[in-house]
Structure 1
Amino acid sequence: MREAVDEFASHLAQVRNRSAHTVRAYVTDLVSLLDHAVRSGGSSPADLDLAVVRSWLARQRTMGAARSTLARRAAAARTFSTWAHRHGLLPIDVAAPLASPRAHRELPTVLRADQAAALVEAAATDAGPTDARPTNAHPVEVEPTGGAGLATAHPSGPSQAAGPAAAEADPVRLRDLLLLELLYATGVRVSEVCGLDVADVDSGRRVIRVLGKGSRERTVPYGVPAQRALDGWLRHGRPRLVGPHSRNALLLGARGGRLNATTARRIVSGYAEAAGLPRISPHGLRHSAATHLLEGGADLRAVQELLGHSSLASTQIYTHVSVERLRAAYRQAHPRA
């Protein structure tokens, strides 16, 4: 069975082009399913049948698994069953008739536009936590090799960069400001913003090139405030943090390596707490950006393209958020609500 698991993992990663997170989750689910099959008397994938899959899911539910978890595990079982049948490991696609429990989809937490602005301003006004202070910070005014194309498009003086006295500002603060601006301005995922290289930014057209889920590439625009934050970071922040491990990464950690998603989440939540805002994550800023676009009149298909959703159904949840806000305002203000 171990060989089947390894081949299935390779299929997910190389043929289906699934993310490492999805591969890990599906493989974990499959190992659990096959272990259950062995306990039920099976000895190979060919012994798997619909009854075994259903009893496995029932056992998961008895152990308290959430509906969303059960839905994912059912999807993993169906995907493996289809693959195993095509490769001759199963005589029939045993899990094809399997129905998934519909996961309860909660409305995402979003900030109001003024709250999102306050979050970004918390970094611009030097109010809020950061990660460890850099030990190699030194004043440099010229972007190193690899970022020259962007440097030539920058404004000529620090007064045009984001934040007060950008040339003297803490480089980590400049990095934090750019992180917050990009997350809210573009609605990209935290993994996508951390994966940006300097060359992925076209400051002339004010767009970034993003590599999203399934290695799908898309171009996302950003606004003037984010451009100012980018100018300040590339002129007065990144050169002071850049080190031997920086390579072409746009956003750097305090020690010069590529900023990781865990640190980015901590930065966002820390500034939100410092500004007295509701608890928010980078994904919450993504929700906020999408909601504000739709409330401002953006087309649903355009928002789908910006967010990198493969299905319009994923984007439609933001219309529910807007409706819920309208309903809440109605209940609060209408005398016969």
Structure 2
Amino acid sequence: MFLARFIQYIQFEKRYSPHTVSAYQSDLDQFMRFLNTPEETITHPSEITHYLIRNWMVSMMSDEITARSINRKIATLRKYFKFLLQEGIIGHNPASKIIAPKIPKNLPVVVEDAKLMQMLDSDDTFSHDFKGLRDKLVIEALFGTGMRLSELLGVKETDINVYEGTVKVLGKRNKQRIIPINNELKHLVAEYLELKKNQNFDNNSLTLIVTDKGADAYPKLVYLIVQKYLSHISTQNKKSPHVLRHTFATTLLNNGADLNAIKELLGHANLSATQIYTHNSVERLKSIYKQAHPKA
């Protein structure tokens, strides 16, 4: 079915991230398992019709798989069949006729920026040892730059220019961008790096965020740090690093930042991904109106 050839294409020619390649592989494996039953076996991609793809969609809906997940899997198929078409393996793209299910728009979950800043400014929130300073840097960096979890984990000490007040991050599709950092974050980074050096860790990792023993930080560690400290100021169920990214964007928008500037800071490929934050701002205006207007 030319799956290995396609995976090599997105891995080496398109240079997709390992996470994306793994997701494509998983989606295609699931689709092939659906197609090949004891009663019938598909031996060539040209045998796959849009009816079979639609049947797969119906099957996933019956299994209560979310519209967002189904859309991602259909996007994988589109990419796969487009590649086969370019290679002359098939004569048409059966996924081109597929209409993906609509994704319900959920407002980004945020925390109150005032409570977050109060927690960060408090002397009692974080311990004054390496672990406490590391935890504070994680929260400050996510809220102060809006970077993704994967981007934070990839930041090296050399990616931070304390003098210019910037940090270089590697985003999706290996796109680099420069994000400004505020004075408080600059001082925190300098203090953290000095304390990190004095720990005399065995591996001397140049990765910015490390574990208590000096190894490169991993996603679960950052999740636990964020959940721990957001629990001090929020009772909402969702307490993830992405909530701080949403809070960063919403705070900027509420304070008059240009939407295009926010798009660049977040590393979004197009403006439509950034526009979802305008809904949060509208809800905030409605709330203020209801509280302040006598006829509201």
Q: Following TM superposition, by how much is the alpha carbon of 1:9 offset from its aligned partner in structure 2, in angstroms?
A: 1.6
Matched to 1:125, the amino acid is D
Matched to 2:32, the amino acid is L
What does residue 15 of structure 1 align with?
13
Q: Do structure 1's residue 58 and structure 2's residue 58 form an aligned pair?
A: yes
Q: Following TM superposition, by how much is the alpha carbon of 1:58 offset from its aligned partner in structure 2, in angstroms?
A: 1.0
Residue 15 and residue 317 in structure 1: after superposition, are their counterparts in 2 closer, same or farther (change >3 A)? same
What does residue 77 of structure 1 align with?
77
Provide the rounded CA distance (Å) in 1 between the counterparts of 2:47 and 2:254.
53
What does residue 153 of structure 1 align with?
none
Q: Following TM superposition, by how much is the alpha carbon of 1:127 offset from its aligned partner in structure 2, in angstroms?
A: 4.5
Q: Following TM superposition, by how much is the alpha carbon of 1:246 offset from its aligned partner in structure 2, in angstroms?
A: 3.6
Provide the rounded CA distance (Å) in 2 between the counterparts of 1:249 and 1:242.
15
8 A contact 1:127–1:274 mirrored in 2:
no
What does residue 221 of structure 2 align with?
263
Equivalences for residues 280-299 of structure 1 within 5 A: 280-299=239-258
8 A contact 2:126–2:135 mirrored in 1:
no
Matched to 2:247, the amino acid is S
TM-score by length of 2: 0.92
Q: Following TM superposition, by how much is the alpha carbon of 1:38 offset from its aligned partner in structure 2, in angstroms?
A: 2.1
Is 325-334 or 289-298 further displaced after alignment? Answer: 325-334
What does residue 152 of structure 1 align with?
none
Provide the rounded CA distance (Å) in 2 between the counterparts of 1:267 and 1:305.
27
Residue 274 and residue 183 in structure 1: after superposition, are their counterparts in 2 closer, same or farther (change >3 A)? same
Tell me the SS of whatever aligns to 1:225: helix
Tell me the SS of whatever aligns to 1:80: helix
Report % sequence identity.
29
What does residue 124 of structure 2 align with?
125
Q: Following TM superposition, by how much is the alpha carbon of 1:277 offset from its aligned partner in structure 2, in angstroms?
A: 5.6
Provide the rounded CA distance (Å) in 2 between the counterparts of 1:199 and 1:33.
43
What does residue 221 of structure 1 align with?
180
Tell me the SS of whatever aligns to 1:218: strand
Task: State the Cα RMSD in Å.
Answer: 1.8
Q: Following TM superposition, by how much is the alpha carbon of 1:126 offset from its aligned partner in structure 2, in angstroms?
A: 4.1
What does residue 302 of structure 1 align with?
261
Provide the rounded CA distance (Å) in 2 between the counterparts of 1:6 and 1:245.
36
Q: Following TM superposition, by how much is the alpha carbon of 1:299 offset from its aligned partner in structure 2, in angstroms?
A: 1.0
Residue 105 and residue 17 in structure 1: after superposition, are their counterparts in 2 closer, same or farther (change >3 A)? farther
Tell me the SS of whatever aligns to 1:183: helix
Tell me the SS of whatever aligns to 1:95: helix
Which structure 2 residue ranges, 5 or more long, are not aligned? none
TM-score by length of 1: 0.82
Which residue of 26, 31, 34 maps to 1:33? 31
What does residue 147 of structure 1 align with?
none
Residue 213 and residue 101 in structure 1: after superposition, are their counterparts in 2 closer, same or farther (change >3 A)? same
Ranges of 4+ aligned residues in structure 1 off by more than 3 Å: 274-279, 331-337
Residue 241 and residue 126 in structure 1: after superposition, are their counterparts in 2 closer, same or farther (change >3 A)? farther
Matched length? 293
